[in-house]
Structure 1
Amino acid sequence: MTHALRTLFIGFSSIALLSVASLALANPKHAQTLYDEPAKYPANFKHFDYVNPDAPKGGTLRQAGFGGFDSLNPFINKGVAADDISIIYDTLTRHGLDEPFTEYGLLAEKIEKAPDNAWVRFYLRPEARFHDGQPVTAEDVKFTFDTLMSQGAPMYRGYYADVEKVVVESPLRVRFVFKHAGNRELPLIVGQLPVLPKHWWAERDFSKGNLDIPLGSGPYKVAEVQAGRSIRYERVKDWWGKDLPVNRGFYNFDTLQIDYYRDNTVALEALKAGQFDYWLEMSAKNWATAYNNEAVANGQLIKEEIANHNPTGMQGFIFNTRRPLFSDRRVREALGLLFDYEWTNRQLFNGAYTRTRSYFDNSELASVGLPSADELKLLEPLRAQIAPKVFSDEYQPAVTDGSGIIREQQRRAYQLLQEAGWRVDGDQMLDSTGKPVSFEFLLAQTEFERVLLPFKRNLADLGIELVIRRVDVSQYINRLRSRDYDLIVGGFGQSNSPGNEQREYWHSSSADNPGSRNFIGLKDTAVDSLVEGLINADSRQSLIAHTRALDRVLLWGHYVVPNWHIKTWRVAYWNRFEHPQVTPQYDIGLHTWWVRTQSPEAAADASAAQPSADPEQ
């Protein structure tokens, strides 16, 4: 969940000395936690609380994909990878879905790290096998890491930037040595590395995306591919890891089928017609109005809201600050004022959403009120580089009366634009260089156009032209990678333990990296400083202070127009499926679901057929 830049440099010889000195203190464990607190589940645990360990195996789960795909290699920055392709691979560790950040051994039976987090060692399970029967070894781990860093998507070079090298100590023992000590998160995120088979890739070109069926070691393998249209995965019956405590109750479907649709409206109709089984609904309007059919009324198609305890992160209209038009904070703030959230929520979303006001909303990490004393210690040295309102005002998005008339916001926006050197000439807004203002909003999904049209009208009232450009998924991804856009709608997902991924979002080092999620194009030394401090936080209290300080600087930078969030997952699924009564706090837990052994209708029919007891006997 993070990548790194360390403040204390330790040369190779120092690392070697520290390694030797700390070996007596290091203790191989079945799990690792961020601050070395005890893991929720002990070494002898049988299964996670959020699974049914006796869930029946069998059946098919059919899902819908969007757009298409042209690659089965999700690790490179070429092509569009098929949905869920990562399920064919095992990782060194498995993330606990009901803990903020704990990693349990999967391919690795035990995990050992230096007390100062200068290295981490994994002891591989001798029974671990790829699907062709070849053992998973430390050489495979080293090969995977080196390949991802040299040929994989650029995000890996940022995410694992603080790994100095990978050392194969024995066939089943591998050690990751870090460039700097002190990064508490790095030993955990290294464990999330999927392990690829070195022998299979020996005669293949890793850098090219294609539809060759890859070899993995995970619970499923690719069974059938129809290019761009569908993919089918089959459960590996003799999967080496099926009896591990971390896997009990998971992966219960014999088959996973994903059929692709070009339009989500068509996909929803296909769900209601029984063409596939499970749908995560993202549209409040659809959730409120599109399920009024017989299947829902009679309980065949179930609508359920599952509590989501994750930070909601930030979804918004993202300005590409690489464009000179959006380089001025006042311009970004002005344009944000012209989005009428209250009208949108009332008229388009049936009042279902809450306005997002933090990059870490729905968590203790979100900034509130004015900066605390701990935050001020971090912010004061940066005062000259950040917006003055960081210190004087609590950030709140503009609020309208929901009538659709936003004259007050338009007046304030025009004032800010004038301060930035913009002016109106006739019925056109001219920027500071005297050019008419026109910019493009890049979209891949039709459904979002109805949200943008009122925004477009509000901009037009001030003589600003917004062009809504909808393209297919492949073109959208290519333009995203090449940073060829003015505005997009996007999100920055967050966890309860933010860390190295913040570098991918905000740090200067990722701004020119086509594989990063620095969609904004941020290059700001104050932000860099806060990101580095967050990654190196040595306590939960320090992490919270750094995260809240970073949140304030990002909010007052007006890099996005905040959208909205909801604190549940809205899912619709056919009643032949069941899931555990206890759901994981931080995930939907779809891979813990199973097919009913008996449908509710059959159970009811069987009960009715039973002779009733005679009260006289």
Structure 2
Amino acid sequence: MRGLIVGMLFGACFPAWSAHAYAQFGDIKYPPGFQHFDYVNPKAPKGGEISLVPPTRLSNFDKYNPFTLKGSAPPSLVGLVFETLLTGTLDEPTTAYGLLAEDVAVAPDRLSVVFRLHPAARFSNGDPVLAADVKHSFDRLVSKESAPQYRTIFGEVRGATILGERTIRFDFKRVNAELPLIVGGLPVFSRQWGMEKGKAKPLDQIVTDMPIGSGPYRVGKVSFGRDITYERDPHYWAKDLNVRRGLFNFDRITYKIYKDNTAQLEAFKAGEFDYIQAFIAREWARAYSGKQFDSGQLIKKELKHGNAGDFQGFQFNTRRDKFKDPRVREAIGLAMDFEWLNRQLFYNAYTRVRGYFVASDFEATGKPGSDELALLEPLRAQLPPEVFTQDVPQPPVTSLDPASGRTLRDNLRRARALLAEAGWTYRDGALRNAKGEAFTIEFLDNSGSMGRIVTPFARNLEKLGIAVNYKVIDFAILQKRMDVFDFEVISSRSVGSEAPGTELVERFGSKAADIEGSGNVIGIKSSAVDTLLDKVISAQTRPELVASVRALDRVLRFGHYVVPHWYGGVHRVAFRAGRFEQPAVTPRYYQPESWITSTWWATETNREALYRRMAAGKAN
């Protein structure tokens, strides 16, 4: 039974859904039996290799389990080794197609979904992927053995029930059009993973046990904590499946990890790896240059995309008393002179982040429209009146024109007034509260790259009497301190989304604020925010989703929880010439690392070089 079934046959007001795919709002692009996604080359040859560095701040790894809180897992382990029931695409933000599941059926009342597993699905050890494995994975991920974000992500799922050897049902606590996508994104691992003497270890005790997933790659050669190679599984069960055709073409994908950006870039120039993404405008303009770039040995490109803008900013830990007052947070933000930074440090390469959903349909603008007001009016007693009467807050702008009223000096005057309203005044050489305590801020960083940003920011804050301490620590230590909320201000980046949903509860929900390791590092606890989050995840149409996310963005921006940073409209990447080819079609929504490792392929020279090395290794 494929396609839409009229739900009235079942006495329900909603249609049921049984198909090869599921769309949150009903818009499926690829029909049943489609051959491949538009943005792949279905005839791409397999073979060769690519080596790269992760786009994250990872400085090492100490485990092979990406699902637990403690420790750091290798980059791309989830995407290359583990698979999900459904798989998303790079050209549809709210649709997913069958992968481990060949069929997805949503009940007429939308309170459950049934997945029928593909009979050919196999784990890397040869075992079939069964409903018992899916339930095992779900039960482990929602237990206290896993990282806390999974309990938030799957918080609206009542449970999983095995209906047959390859059939499983997930029941929901309420109607939520996104939930079939959420459970469809469940990472599935074998019940045999972590087995010891016939007994399964708790998930949080599975640390260096080699993963047993169903993905296209297996863990290969490892320099533990530093480098890891993934090797393509020659017996990969889904290599001829339409949702995998033309994908995962490299025989080997190697990630190399370096302690700092300088060492990383010099290693790239020295030929230690093939691909890198640049995030610092100054480095892109000045350091990605030289004879190798001039000769064409190394290629640098700015790749266009249609992604929503990434959110990036200095985030306050509002659990600290000095950051609880929004006037204080707004005052600190007024000391950031973005226009100076963009001129002097960024080569005018960036646009200021305005809110949490910048450059997307979900970004709040101006005063609230009627659709937003319908959501905000019941919350009027919980919100400042400005939410209803004023334009949504914008980051401060600095002008060089003294008559503009927007010079840095003007902004600092406004900041000083806000601080005074909040009980902080300048005396005895420092900004102090009524108890005489001096105002200090500690900025934590793991790479040192933020130092050139914090230094001029600190100079401006010092004019307000605020003393700044900028501290560089190892990423692993920073992550631990973030997990237990032991920080004052950190710089954080979140990838933009074309379909925000349940993950926002993890970032902004009150319950997450008290859970160690959660994404709510700011510590937001707001009943109004919680109500709007509820509206987001219960949206039944895209207009409802847009209105609810815009209202959420508006309320968060009036809270001044962050000092917004900046974003760029292109991906800046560099790679070694003559080693790769790419499909003719570039997708609209993508991150360059995963797009390259999944859809590009090795040139003949690259493939032959790997074959020769492999043959030499066998001979030795």
Q: Given the two structures, how large is their TM-score scaled by the length of structure 2?
A: 0.91
Displacement of 1:598 after TM fit? 5.0
Q: Which amino acid aligns with 1:172?
A: R
How far, CA to CA, are the matches of 2:170 and 2:65 in structure 1?
A: 24
Asked if the contact 1:346/1:402 (under 8 Å) is kept, the reply is: no
Q: Which amino acid aligns with 1:596?
A: T
Aligned to 1:67: 59
Displacement of 1:27 after TM fit? 4.1
Asked if the contact 2:326/2:559 (under 8 Å) is kept, the reply is: yes
How far, CA to CA, are the matches of 1:400 and 1:256 in structure 2?
A: 46
Match of 1:312 among 296, 300, 309: 309
Matches within 5 A, 1:82-481: 82-86=74-78, 87-150=80-143, 151-180=145-174, 182-202=175-195, 203-208=200-205, 210-394=207-391, 395-401=393-399, 406-481=408-483
1:596 aligns to 2:603 (yes or no):
yes
How far, CA to CA, are the matches of 1:100 and 1:205 in structure 2?
A: 34
Change (3 A) 1:407 1:59: same
Query: Structure 1, residues 1-52: CA drift from partner, whole Å, max 9, x if none?
Result: xxxxxxxxxxxxxxxxx99866996342111001123x11111111101111
Change (3 A) 1:153 1:425: same
Q: Which amino acid aligns with 1:560?
A: V
Query: Structure 1, residues 112-166: CA drift from partner, whole Å, max 9, x if none?
Result: 1123321111110111111111100000000000011112111111110111110
Q: Which amino acid aligns with 2:169?
A: R
3-state SS, counterpart of residue 214 of structure 1: coil
Query: Structure 1, residues 208-237: CA drift from partner, whole Å, max 9, x if none?
Result: 253232211110000122221111110001
How far, CA to CA, are the matches of 2:110 and 2:298 in structure 1?
A: 49
Aligned to 1:582: 585
How far, CA to CA, are the matches of 2:14 and 2:272 in structure 1?
A: 59
How far, CA to CA, are the matches of 2:17 and 2:93 in structure 1?
A: 22
Change (3 A) 1:323 1:282: same
Aligned to 1:508: 510
Displacement of 1:251 after TM fit? 0.6
Asked if the contact 1:162/1:179 (under 8 Å) is kept, the reply is: yes
Change (3 A) 1:510 1:24: closer
Query: Structure 1, residues 526-553: CA drift from partner, whole Å, max 9, x if none?
Result: 1111110111112111111111111111
Query: Structure 1, residues 349-379: CA drift from partner, whole Å, max 9, x if none?
Result: 1000000112111111111111101111111
How far, CA to CA, are the matches of 1:309 and 1:189 in structure 2?
A: 23
Displacement of 1:439 after TM fit? 2.0
Asked if the contact 2:21/2:95 (under 8 Å) is kept, the reply is: yes
Asked if the contact 1:55/1:594 (under 8 Å) is kept, the reply is: yes
Matches within 5 A, 1:486-525: 486-525=488-527
How far, CA to CA, are the matches of 1:29 and 1:184 in structure 2?
A: 15
Displacement of 1:407 after TM fit? 1.1
3-state SS, counterpart of residue 220 of structure 2: strand
Displacement of 1:196 after TM fit? 0.7
Asked if the contact 1:30/1:110 (under 8 Å) is kept, the reply is: yes
Asked if the contact 1:235/1:254 (under 8 Å) is kept, the reply is: yes
Asked if the contact 1:19/1:114 (under 8 Å) is kept, the reply is: no
How far, CA to CA, are the matches of 1:200 and 1:540 in structure 2?
A: 39
Q: Which amino acid aligns with 2:441?
A: F
How far, CA to CA, are the matches of 2:433 and 2:496 in structure 1?
A: 35
Asked if the contact 1:278/1:574 (under 8 Å) is kept, the reply is: yes
Q: Which amino acid aligns with 1:31?
A: A
Q: Which runs of 4+ in 1 moved over 4 A?
A: 18-25, 402-405
Asked if the contact 1:98/1:585 (under 8 Å) is kept, the reply is: yes
Query: Structure 1, residues 370-393: CA drift from partner, whole Å, max 9, x if none?
Result: 110111111122223223322222
How far, CA to CA, are the matches of 2:375 and 2:411 in structure 1?
A: 33
Q: Which amino acid aligns with 1:177?
A: D
Query: Structure 1, residues 587-614: CA drift from partner, whole Å, max 9, x if none?
Result: 1312101112258xxxxxxxxxxxxxxx
Aligned to 1:535: 537
With 390-399 and 134-143 compared, the bigger mean Cα shift is at 390-399
Asked if the contact 2:308/2:358 (under 8 Å) is kept, the reply is: yes
How far, CA to CA, are the matches of 2:547 and 2:335 in structure 1?
A: 32
3-state SS, counterpart of residue 377 of structure 1: helix
Asked if the contact 1:342/1:402 (under 8 Å) is kept, the reply is: no
3-state SS, counterpart of residue 367 of structure 1: coil
How far, CA to CA, are the matches of 1:582 and 1:472 in structure 2?
A: 40
Q: Which amino acid aligns with 1:174?
A: I
Aligned to 2:22: 32
Aligned to 2:574: 572
Asked if the contact 1:506/1:518 (under 8 Å) is kept, the reply is: yes
Q: Given the two structures, how large is their TM-score scaled by the length of structure 1?
A: 0.91
How far, CA to CA, are the matches of 1:523 and 1:23 in structure 2?
A: 36
Q: Which amino acid aligns with 1:169?
A: L
Asked if the contact 1:78/1:208 (under 8 Å) is kept, the reply is: no
3-state SS, counterpart of residue 28 of structure 1: strand
**Aligned residues with identical type, % of pairs:** 45
Query: Structure 1, residues 411-444: CA drift from partner, whole Å, max 9, x if none?
Result: 1110100000111113211024320111211111
How far, CA to CA, are the matches of 1:370 and 1:262 in structure 2?
A: 46
Asked if the contact 1:316/1:491 (under 8 Å) is kept, the reply is: yes
How far, CA to CA, are the matches of 2:274 and 2:94 in structure 1?
A: 31
Aligned to 2:561: 559
Asked if the contact 2:14/2:108 (under 8 Å) is kept, the reply is: no
Q: Which amino acid aligns with 1:328?
A: D
Aligned to 1:45: 34
With 404-413 and 427-436 compared, the bigger mean Cα shift is at 404-413
Change (3 A) 1:247 1:398: same
How far, CA to CA, are the matches of 1:19 and 1:241 in structure 2?
A: 36
Displacement of 1:328 after TM fit? 0.2
